[in-house]
Chain A
């Protein structure tokens, strides 16, 4: 088996796993150790250890120390949410790109972000603007937009990828217009800034309960996609070849689209519209390990999660005021994408 194992000049599966683990540990460490509140790493680790063993001061009925609050209420939830949101968006992007056989597709192409933005604005304006309510409405708005997009594509023809993308443009435009209408009518002193900040994306208000909810959706969807990763690889050959190789194309494509959309909608509902992660990370992963989803899925997950943790660390530490996360990911992601374009599209012909 020399050709399969060695000569492609990439790390074997053992080496790849080690490299991914190292990236993950490094980014999580940076996310936990860096911050405006000065805390030595050993104290952060001690607090994490206490949290695991249930021996925080809080559990002893005493007021938590400032250090404990910083780690348990700010850094740890944000690192966890960053991992989930980044991994979710990156995997959703990789799946969308594979299914649409187009490396320029992002997970927002079918209107998830427009629908989620409209849902969040509705919650802010009419439903009290409670954080949990915003999440629910954003998730509902995002999934509704993609569902409408599917119905439109199916009614217009056979639901082919091209029709889906055209429908996505239509549905996205409608929801963006509705969102603008809501913003136009919103109180500019009070509500409008809330909507704008939500749209820019942030992990600032994330609680541990949000993280749990997020992972309840991301983990099952991610596991199924991980199991289907060879079938998705075959599906990228196109409908005709995939079918003759034994793939049930409509069923597989539908399943992958639903799961990827759920991951993207869940990520957006927790963090707002975070651009570029779902587009750039799958590209980077493909350049590193090639277009085979057997490697592309785990690499996209780890790189996406790590990238968002690092970007969020920048967002909360660079200046005394928080910078919206979506701005950071775009400011870093766009130049990376430009570099990738200059390097040429390796991994796609």
Chain B
């Protein structure tokens, strides 16, 4: 009920060609990036702080101009698309939401309809119905009228995802969606993302948790290793060696009895304890 994918499953929704990213007048953080995102795919972007994860995400979503190369949305060059055209295809869940004015959760979610209504029009009953249905779906209907600043971090994250889904996008881009959440909320967000990708939505997210990339499956893009960047199946990319190279710390990958992989960094003091 959430997402309808217009294009054929095999068509590229998002494609980069020889892409370089970086802030204007700053250093180029990444270059020569070629990758393609198709319907239902998950790509997790990993790497240490400052390596360019968010910068890459902002470039792919049209918030930053590419320093070189191209980003294509379907057949269109991202540079030539208006914000409303981009918003109908890519929805962004920001890392922080910092509204000055205290909107209700329902109003915040309703803002996802903006790109779908005309510039001089206001959201109508149909839009409000969609917003309420989405609130039901993500389990926030009971706090629809609560001011956003009075909601918990987990509720806020689910509200921002609900808002993004109301844009009816083909690609969902999330900037560290699990970073500020407790374990239960992390599981809730990851399960929702898995559910959305199986219904055809393409998902692009940055993360500080390599195990989340492994848990979601799909592909991983590891930034800042010895080869600059490494893109491949999450299980092939997220290895102890690659993590050590990218993060500069030894890491143990430990498989739980139920098959989930945990990622445990090794401290200098650990050897003396062993």
Contact = CB atoms under 8 A, between A and B. Distances in A.
Interface of A: 1, 3-4, 7-8, 98, 101-103, 227-231, 233-234, 236-238, 240-241, 243-249, 286, 290-292, 294, 346-349
A313 B163 CA distance: 47
A85 B90 CA distance: 43
A248 B147 contact: no
B103 A246 contact: no
B132 A4 contact: yes
B87 A244 contact: yes
Contacts of B103: 290-292
B102 A248 contact: no
Nearest to A223: B120
Of listed B98, B101, B163, B167, residue having the most chain A CB within 10 A: B101
B182 to A, nearest CB: 22
Interface in B251-268: none
A102 B145 contact: no
Given A8-B145, A234-B111, A228 B102 contact: no
A162 to B, nearest CB: 13
A1 B123 CA distance: 14
Contacts, number: 111
Contacts of A249: 83
Interface string B105-120: 0110001101101011
Interface residues of B, number: 47
A230 B123 contact: yes
Contacts of A241: 94, 97
B235 interface: no
B117 A230 contact: yes
A290 B103 CA distance: 7
Contact of A349 (B62, B87, B101, B107): B101
Contacts of A233: 107, 111
A243 B125 CA distance: 24
Of listed A7, A230, A294, residue having the most chain B CB within 10 A: A230
A257 to B, nearest CB: 16
Nearest to A6: B145
B184 interface: no
Contacts of A1: 125, 128-129, 132
Given A4-B132, A7-B145, A245 B111 contact: yes
Contact of B141 (A3, A8, A103, A230): A3
B104 A8 contact: yes
A246 B131 CA distance: 17
Contacts of B86: 244, 246
21 contacts: A3-B106, A7-B144, A102-B100, A103-B100, A227-B121, A228-B119, A229-B122, A230-B122, A231-B114, A233-B107, A238-B98, A240-B63, A241-B94, A244-B90, A245-B111, A245-B114, A246-B114, A248-B84, A290-B103, A291-B101, A291-B103
A227 to B, nearest CB: 4
B149 interface: yes
A286 B87 contact: no
Contacts of B87: 244-246
A236 to B, nearest CB: 5
A171 to B, nearest CB: 25
Of listed A101, A102, A228, A291, residue having the most chain B CB within 10 A: A291
B112 A245 contact: yes
Interface string B2-24: 00000000000000000000000
B40 to A, nearest CB: 22
Contacts of A237: 97, 99, 111
B120 A228 contact: yes
Nearest to A230: B122
Given A228-B120, A240-B94, A247 B83 contact: yes
A291 B102 contact: yes
Given A7-B145, A240-B63, A241-B94, 19 more contacts: A1-B128, A3-B135, A4-B128, A4-B131, A4-B144, A7-B144, A8-B104, A8-B145, A227-B120, A230-B123, A233-B107, A234-B114, A236-B101, A238-B98, A243-B62, A247-B84, A248-B83, A291-B102, A292-B103
Contacts of A231: 114, 119
A318 to B, nearest CB: 37
